[in-house]
Amino acid sequence: ADMGRTPVELFYDVISPYSWLAFEALCRYRHIWNIDLRFRPAFLGGIMQQTGNKPPAMLPKRGEYLLKDMKRMAKYYQVPLRMSANAFQHIMGTSSLTAMRFITAIDMTNPQYLEPLSREFWMRFWSQHEDITQPENILAVAQQAGLSAELSQKALEMISSPTVKDRLKDTTAEALKYGAFGMPAVVAHYDGKPHLFFGSDRLELLGSIIGE
C-alpha cells in the first residue's frame, strides 16, 4: 500500500440504502483522512444466504424504526435517499444480481466509472424509486453516469460471462472471509490486520482506530 495511507475497502450492494450512506460519507472522508478507499461491489443476497441473516424489516418494530432512522440519516448525511412507506416490499421484490454484475463488469473494464455508476444506481432505486433490474433501465443508469452506449452495451453482454460472475462471487466470498454478515461492510487494513465495521454509523470508530 501507499506509504502511510490506510487501505479501506467498502463492500457494498446498491440494493442496500445504508451502503449508500457509507459510500457518500467515505467519499468525503477520503479527502480528509489519510486513506486509500477501494470500492468492492459484492452481492448482498449471497451474504445473507451464506450467513443465515434475515432482512431487518422482517421484524415489524425494527422496520418501523428503520423508516425513521433512514430519514434522519439521509438528512444528516445530506444524501437524497427517500424512504417510501412500501420501501421494504420494494427491496424484497428486487434482485440486485444483474445490477451488481453490471457494476462488476465496469469495475473490470473501466474502473474510473465505478463511483458515478454506483451512485446513479442508488439514485435511481432509492431516490427515484425506479427499476434497476431490466436491461434498458441498467443502460439508462449507465448513460446517466456518463458511460458511452458502446461501453454500456459491452458491459451488459459481459454480465452473463463466467469471468464477471466469478469476480462478483469472489468479492462476496472475500467480504464473508472478513466476517461480513450484511452491508455495508467496511474493512480497514491497519497495524497489519483487517478491522471490520458493519453499517454506516461506525465511521467515527473507524477513524479513531486508524488514528484519524
88: which residues sit within 8 A by CB, 6+ positions away?
A: 55, 57, 63
Q: What gap in Å lies between CA 27 and CA 131, rounded to an integer?
A: 25
- DSSP code per residue over the chain: --TTPEEEEEEE-TT-HHHHHHHHHHHHHTTTSSEEEEEEE--HHHHHHHHT---GGGSHHHHHHHHHHHHHHHHHHT------TTHHHHHHT---HHHHHHHHHHHHH-GGGHHHHHHHHHIIIIIS----SSHHHHHHHHHHTT--HHHHHHHHHHTTSHHHHHHHHHHHHHHHHTT--SS-EEEEEETTEEEEEESSS-HHHHHHHTT-
Residue among 94, 118, 93 nearest 42 (CA): 118
**Chain centroid to CA 207:** 20
16 counts as catalytic:
yes
Of the residues 16, 19, 96, 200, only one is catalytic, namely 16
Q: Which residues are catalytic?
A: 16
